[in-house]
Structure 1
Amino acid sequence: MTEWTPLDPALAKVLPTGEPVNVSRRGFLSAASAGALVLGFGLPVGAARAQAVGAAPAVVPGTRVPAFLAINPDGTIRLQSPFAEGGQGVWTAMAQIVGEELDADPATFVVENAPTGPDYQVINGKMRITGGSMSVRSSYDTMRRLGASARAMLIQAAAQRLSVPASALSTQPGRVVHQASGRSLSYAELAPHALDLPAPTTPPTLKDPKDFRWIGKPQARLDVRAKSTGKAQFAIDSKVDGMLHAAVQHAPRLGLAVGKIRNEAAVKAMKGVHSVHVLDGAVAVVAPRFWHARRAVEAAQVDWVEPTGASYRPMPATFSTADHAAHLATVQGTEEVAESTGDVAKAFADAGAKGTLSATYHSQYLNHAQLEPPSALARFNADGTLDMWFPNQAPDMFLAEVAKASGLPPEKIRIHSPLLGGFFGRHFLYPKGNPYPQAIELAKRVNAPVKLIWTREEEFLRDPLRPMAAVRFRGAVDANGMPLAIEAVSATEGPREGIADKRSGEIDPTALEGLAGKSYALPNKRIAQIFVKSPTTVAYWRSVGNSMNDFFYEAFLDELADKGGQDPYAVRLHLLSGNARLTTLLKAVVDLSGGWKRGPFTAPDGTTRARGMAMASPFGTQTAAIAEVSIADGQVKVHDVWQAIDPGSIVNPAIITAQVNSAVALGLSQALIEEAAYKNGERVARNFDGYPILTPDRMPRVHVRIVESGEKMGGIGEPGLPAVPPAVANAVSRLRGQRVRTLPIGTLS
């Protein structure tokens, strides 16, 4: 379990539950919003924080995890979200959850990113991130209690105003009602009085799910209108008075330093250039307009030199991804075992040569390729403070690093977290992978606010990658052809250990998730890792280790089924015979697809097609997928993808369907096309012309069935991805009669 990725049972046991705490009106509201009701929610640990200006004792990080809610005089409701919105719909989900217990229409909510601070570290009482598909599932109970507490306080305020017992009152959306007299008061009318009342001393009663008005039902996204009309503000849109723009040219290989700028005088003389700067591994130009800065920095003729001292992951001039893939396939080393059941060696001996199978599978490096390139705006203020705007998934983690880079204490720094223009794990804290240190340095040098944008070319150069891996499988089948044993040894470096640039002494779960922990009841299995440090920088990528490991496992499982002369569907049913939840899910996707039909078969349009299936269990959610494909002129065409998804319980089915569609698109792009390649130590692709992604004409029809098992709530943003690549690969393998063991599939001969 990494700090920034999947929620495991150990973490789930210590997630905060939080009880509401009233907060003084002066703590969060300016005069412009006077009269609003403000609440916080927190863990029942440690002293409650009085938020009144001038009277607030220090907050011990992790002892309270409040967010706050404001009911404005116009009836709108402001919610400060601990989670960033990047297209996944979390702001809408937060409004539904709070609104359900508050009895307020989610459409009346205005949601914003909360500022930094321990108040908003709602994950494990000490962490705040948007990632690991954790946002809703880690805060669901706390946000419900927040809404319920606010409702109770509004009822108490109405009881005093109407001189009736609180027990005689009820609520309708946005109003407190006294049914006996027909009188009612709006939340906006009650807010000025309610905010001075204490929070309930006992936890408020939460709704029975059967009475939910908004949770579990489709709800229009709160962020769509602003995005559709161009009003939404992303980091790349940020601007302040007196701002200068900057562009950079990075060294072609990480670790190289600037020797000299051969034409520096000519660059300084170019139109609009304010100044030219040498940075760590880069050259920057500052100008009043970004276009002038970009043209000038791209014109700079830089002599790059090898590092003379220690540097972070210097890239060898001889590195190539083709050579690295070959190395991973054969490298020997210590096999660190993550999972071991039964007696694998005996199973292979019993099966003999006729009943065993060996294969090596490969995954590729991947860029994040999000639409919005990284940017950072730094403004040092006259009062000694620093304001920063940049895309991020973990503002508090960045706060500590911004403090180091700026030399200021954290309390003098404000991190502004705009909407994210896509992220997929890109906007975490990555050494050499974020522009904020450069923006800070340039703002210091020019004594003015500086907004730095990495062009797409610079982003492709410094984007940390989804790791590469090679997995060596051995499998055995029993006398009936059913899987008897699987051994998988992955040669790779996990994202967590790669980002830290060190090993913790334990196996990085992100390296093996999707290989280890599979739910199939195999009597004998052994999953291990050979740690091989990647020459590249590595990162979290949507669904993290599951994005490649489920491809490995589910494709090899099909291969093992073929070895035993068994149908892959029958094999999975056999291995899940004691698992009612996953058996139900697998049958659901088969039913959704109109019945299992592996093929090859002739479709109504005359094309020859086949289907493949796969399952995955990422982030507390269970998924099963079926893909139908054909091949024409060497290109794989995916016609349909059916996916059944069981997240336990749900908040918004429309968002789930949208996220599955999104995950299918990215999963197909990974399976068919995407690959980040290196030659001579340099990245081959520097823009989308060299790094194509799935285009609309290659997007299949996607069919989604949501299965609510009632199990503990799982994630939604990422789980729809991991089963897609193996389902496609299994279908292609069936159609060609030749196994797909390496991604991307690309153009077939």
Structure 2
Amino acid sequence: MVNTKIANASRRSFLQGAAGLTLGFCLPAIAAPAGAGKAAAPAGQPFEANAFLRIGTDDSVTVIAKHLEMGQGSYTGLATILAEELDADWQTVRLEGAPADASRYNNLFWGASQGTGGSTAMANSWDQLRAAGAAGRAMLVNAAARRWQVPAGEITVRDGIVSHRRSKRQARFGELAADAAREAVPASVVLKEAKDFRLIGKQAPRKDSVDKTNGQAQFTQDIQLPGMLVAVVAHPPRFGATVRGFDASAARRVRNVVDVVQIPSGVAVLASDTWSAKKGRDALQVDWDESRSFKLGSEEIVARYREMAKSPGLVARRVGNTEQAFAGAARIVRATYDFPYLAHAAMEPMNCVIRLSERGCEVWNGEQMATADQSRLAAIFGLTPEQVRINMLYAGGSFGRRANTHSDYVVEAAQIVKAIGGKAPVKLVWMREDDMRAGYYRPLFHHALEAALDAGGQLTGWRHRLVGQSILLGSPFESMMVKDGIDAVSVEGAANLPYAIPNLLVDLHTPKDIDVPVLWWRSVGSSHTAYSTEVFLDQVARAAGKDPVAWRLELLADHPRHRGVLRLAAEKSGWGTRLPAGVKGTRRGRGVAVHESFHSYVAQVAEVTVAADGTVKVDRVVCAVDCGIAINPDNIRSQIEGAVGFALSAALHGEITLKEGAVVEGNFDTYRPIRIGEMPRLEVHIVPSTAKPTGVGEPGVPPLAPAVANAIGAATGKYPDRLPFRAEDLRA
């Protein structure tokens, strides 16, 4: 049973209480609890049951989604949770992005902040939206019971129809909407048992697919406002450079160019259309002051990190006595791994529309960090946060890029609007090259690992040293997630290593003088820690003469969910059977990796073919995932499949390189995703679970590259120690 209470406040809020989930409601002003003496709602008035649910007299059920839909299926998942408890007709359910209002739509895992990220959408909404749907259902039932003068306990609800079997009466949701708006919010609601689910765990069709197919889905690029100008910005070629001066005469001569203004991040060209703005930007003559710019190249950064790794860092985790374990070791295994900067490379580059008016500021954006963006925009324009209205649109991917706590491109759009005195709405458009060369990146990292084995081949000691930039330092999350100098996301996946190792040390160096902008990238720290730990464990298993799956199972005795996905992936892949031989001159291998991230568990087994020239073809990947209750199994499979493709792109090709501080790559010709012919045969198996749902957008990424690397190791005896894989490292 879930407790509810009426909140006599001007805004609805949902709060997680200590004894369960407490829901606060504020119904429309025309509505009041039954018997309160107020008039009925006017004809046509929708029933706003709470902050997340609106039912129209046309039977439409609108779920207000507080999380951004950027391709990961969050809209469908959120609607499924609420519609299940409401017993709505899935065909009538629609989605609407929530406005920026952390008092109602905060991410419950982030405190008083509204945003999408960390694979938290389903997990933090599970109890909340179930209760919201159940409360709406109860109010509809009570309205029907009052109208028909029958006991509420005799009324049933199914597919948007409220029925009383004995009297053979029934009504659609829309017919009861006005009456339901008069009902009191129930003091408590009873949630369904899993055996009664009719939507959760089933293949409910995605709610965004049709609109995205027929062109009705609204992305930022689709927004057109009267008098709107399009802005394209010239950014400095190196991080930290500034504008010393510029000549806009040639840019202003470009047809349809309206204005050229300097802003803190560069020089903006405004025109009536995107192409004209780009042509004007290309015609600009900008004199950049690079006296304080960052000028190191990637190779120099790696060399510096390797030098730092020779000395101890700040301790992230210590178990037992590693000095003693290594001093008494019969054998010591060592390895190092290097990981490059990576771009997010979302299909939709950054963009944002902002309009000023007498009432304040209105924004159209694929909005991922509503509270941060709202606060920064309010500061720029001298407004209160409530005067900044944000319209959440679809986003064409993100992978962390739009979850920027510095609000970089949103702030840039606002600065352009301010520079022109707010005389016109502005759509800021970043080209692919802008985001590739002036954006944010997954940090470059160096890892150094050592393992101690005793005479019996048992793993007695483990040392892991990481060197890389912090994502959290200087962000609003620093106070929560940086402790004693340790950035939690730098060491996640390493400091919480699940294997039973009696003596373990993980330490970290965080260089402060590398001025490359960094940001979380899909699966964040696990994107590199899973590779180093899982590939190194295979190398140690090889040295100890152990089977990689059997040894992992032994070391994971206290982690049943890790073991569950590992066993399932091994079984479905045919682990232990002989692979068919490849064509003459090729080598074939099978590799495994298992990793937990965002409270979900994923194991993957990869099969590869390595040619004599060192090129790698991934033939097959078998995945097992445990993410708690599978809200939408088909969407889970889709997300794991997408994660495999995303991770494989990085493993085979992904690398942002710096030359004297400037980013070399600019578009998909030089920062190449995998082609369709490189995608392996793929199987996804979901572990049945009764646990609360956890994340699925990111956890499929970490195990892919190490599983492939371990398959390469099995085929060739060579374990790649740098990403992306390079043919010259693997030649026969």
Gaps of 5+ in 1: 1-10, 41-66, 308-313
Equivalent residues of 2:334, 2:450 under 8 A apart: yes
Q: CA deviation at 1:584?
A: 2.5
Equivalent residues of 2:240, 2:293 under 8 A apart: yes
Matched, 1:135 2:115: no
The whole-number CA distance in structure 2 between the counterparts of 1:14 and 1:478 is 48
Matched, 1:337 2:341: no
The whole-number CA distance in structure 2 between the counterparts of 1:113 and 1:220 is 19
2:211 to 219, 222, 226: 226
Equivalent residues of 1:33, 1:72 under 8 A apart: no
Q: CA deviation at 1:497?
A: 2.1
Equivalent residues of 1:279, 1:438 under 8 A apart: no
Q: Residues 325 and 32 of structure 1: is their aligned pair in 2 closer, same or farther, counting only changes over 3 Å?
A: farther
Q: Residues 367 and 357 of structure 1: is their aligned pair in 2 closer, same or farther, counting only changes over 3 Å?
A: same
1:81 to 65, 73, 79: 65
Q: Give, as a single letter, the amino acid of the residue that structure 1 aligns with 2:151.
A: P
Q: Which residue of 2 aligns with 1:497?
A: 473
Q: CA deviation at 1:498?
A: 6.1
Q: Residues 260 and 578 of structure 1: is their aligned pair in 2 closer, same or farther, counting only changes over 3 Å?
A: closer
After superposition, residues 101-140 of structure 1 pair within 5 angstroms as: 101-117=85-101, 118-124=103-109, 125-140=111-126
After superposition, residues 280-291 of structure 1 pair within 5 angstroms as: 280-291=264-275
After superposition, residues 133-532 of structure 1 pair within 5 angstroms as: 133-201=119-187, 203-262=188-247, 264-306=248-290, 315-317=293-295, 319-331=296-308, 335-352=313-330, 355-381=331-357, 383-431=358-406, 433-442=408-417, 444-445=419-420, 447-497=423-473, 499=475, 505-532=484-511
Equivalent residues of 2:602, 2:625 under 8 A apart: yes
The whole-number CA distance in structure 2 between the counterparts of 1:276 and 1:680 is 29
Q: Residues 295 and 458 of structure 1: is their aligned pair in 2 closer, same or farther, counting only changes over 3 Å?
A: same
The whole-number CA distance in structure 2 between the counterparts of 1:681 and 1:645 is 40
SS where residue 517 of structure 2 aligns? Answer: coil
The whole-number CA distance in structure 2 between the counterparts of 1:33 and 1:448 is 39
Q: CA deviation at 1:380?
A: 0.9
After superposition, residues 726-745 of structure 1 pair within 5 angstroms as: 726-745=706-725
Deviation digits for residues 40-84 of structure 1, max 9, x if unmatched? 2xxxxxxxxxxxxxxxxxxxxxxxxxx321111221111111101
Q: CA deviation at 1:644?
A: 0.5
The whole-number CA distance in structure 1 between the counterparts of 2:99 and 2:293 is 37
Q: CA deviation at 1:535?
A: 2.4
Deviates more, 1:366-375 or 1:68-77: 68-77
SS where residue 480 of structure 1 aligns? Answer: coil
Q: Which residue of 2 aligns with 1:565?
A: 545
Q: CA deviation at 1:105?
A: 2.6
The whole-number CA distance in structure 1 between the counterparts of 2:261 and 2:407 is 17
2:53 to 66, 69, 76: 69
Q: CA deviation at 1:513?
A: 0.5
SS where residue 712 of structure 2 aligns? Answer: helix
The whole-number CA distance in structure 1 between the counterparts of 2:29 and 2:680 is 52
Q: CA deviation at 1:442?
A: 3.3
Deviates more, 1:248-257 or 1:710-719: 710-719
The whole-number CA distance in structure 2 between the counterparts of 1:576 and 1:267 is 63
2:631 to 626, 651, 659: 651
Q: Give, as a single letter, the amino acid of the residue that structure 2 aligns with 1:385.
A: G
Equivalent residues of 1:391, 1:419 under 8 A apart: yes
Q: Which residue of 2 aligns with 1:93?
A: 77
1:577 to 557, 565, 573: 557
Q: Which residue of 2 aligns with 1:58?
A: none
Q: Which residue of 1 aligns with 2:649?
A: 669
The whole-number CA distance in structure 2 between the counterparts of 1:444 and 1:615 is 51
Equivalent residues of 1:244, 1:451 under 8 A apart: yes
SS where residue 305 of structure 2 aligns? Answer: helix
Deviation digits for residues 695-729 of structure 1, max 9, x if unmatched? 11111111011002433432111111101110011
The whole-number CA distance in structure 1 between the counterparts of 2:283 and 2:294 is 26
Q: CA deviation at 1:437?
A: 2.8
Q: CA deviation at 1:306?
A: 3.1
Q: Residues 563 and 547 of structure 1: is their aligned pair in 2 closer, same or farther, counting only changes over 3 Å?
A: same
Q: Residues 237 and 598 of structure 1: is their aligned pair in 2 closer, same or farther, counting only changes over 3 Å?
A: farther
Q: Give, as a single letter, the amino acid of the residue that structure 2 aligns with 1:186.
A: R
Q: CA deviation at 1:523?
A: 1.5
Q: CA deviation at 1:688?
A: 1.4
The whole-number CA distance in structure 2 between the counterparts of 1:568 and 1:550 is 15
Q: Residues 33 and 259 of structure 1: is their aligned pair in 2 closer, same or farther, counting only changes over 3 Å?
A: farther
Q: Give, as a single letter, the amino acid of the residue that structure 2 aligns with 1:289.
A: D
The whole-number CA distance in structure 1 between the counterparts of 2:117 and 2:251 is 41
Q: CA deviation at 1:259?
A: 2.1
Q: Which residue of 2 aligns with 1:23?
A: 27
Q: Which residue of 1 aligns with 2:530?
A: 550
Q: Residues 432 and 223 of structure 1: is their aligned pair in 2 closer, same or farther, counting only changes over 3 Å?
A: closer
1:660 to 640, 644, 662: 640
SS where residue 654 of structure 2 aligns? Answer: coil
Q: Residues 176 and 712 of structure 1: is their aligned pair in 2 closer, same or farther, counting only changes over 3 Å?
A: closer
SS where residue 717 of structure 1 aligns? Answer: coil
Deviates more, 1:570-579 or 1:456-465: 570-579
After superposition, residues 629-708 of structure 1 pair within 5 angstroms as: 629-632=608-611, 633-708=613-688
Q: Residues 487 and 655 of structure 1: is their aligned pair in 2 closer, same or farther, counting only changes over 3 Å?
A: same
SS where residue 461 of structure 1 aligns? Answer: helix
Greater strand content: 2
Q: Residues 334 and 487 of structure 1: is their aligned pair in 2 closer, same or farther, counting only changes over 3 Å?
A: closer
The whole-number CA distance in structure 2 between the counterparts of 1:14 and 1:573 is 37
Q: Which residue of 1 aligns with 2:12?
A: none
Deviates more, 1:429-438 or 1:640-649: 429-438
Q: Residues 500 and 489 of structure 1: is their aligned pair in 2 closer, same or farther, counting only changes over 3 Å?
A: farther
Equivalent residues of 1:378, 1:443 under 8 A apart: no
The whole-number CA distance in structure 2 between the counterparts of 1:272 and 1:664 is 44
Q: TM-score, normalised by structure 1?
A: 0.89
Aligned length: 698
The whole-number CA distance in structure 2 between the counterparts of 1:565 and 1:277 is 66
SS where residue 496 of structure 1 aligns? Answer: coil
Deviation digits for residues 648-690 of structure 1, max 9, x if unmatched? 2221100100000011111111111100110011000111112
SS where residue 137 of structure 1 aligns? Answer: helix
The whole-number CA distance in structure 2 between the counterparts of 1:451 and 1:123 is 32
The whole-number CA distance in structure 2 between the counterparts of 1:448 and 1:580 is 59
The whole-number CA distance in structure 2 between the counterparts of 1:348 and 1:598 is 36
Deviation digits for residues 286-305 of structure 1, max 9, x if unmatched? 11122111101111121111
Deviates more, 1:701-710 or 1:179-188: 701-710
* Cα-Cα RMSD: 2.4
- Percent identical residues: 35
SS where residue 499 of structure 2 aligns? Answer: coil
SS where residue 745 of structure 1 aligns? Answer: coil
Q: Residues 597 and 506 of structure 1: is their aligned pair in 2 closer, same or farther, counting only changes over 3 Å?
A: farther
The whole-number CA distance in structure 2 between the counterparts of 1:676 and 1:33 is 59
Q: Which residue of 2 aligns with 1:716?
A: 696
1:613 to 592, 613, 617: 592
Q: Give, as a single letter, the amino acid of the residue that structure 2 aligns with 1:341.
A: V
The whole-number CA distance in structure 2 between the counterparts of 1:571 and 1:649 is 29
Matched, 1:39 2:49: yes
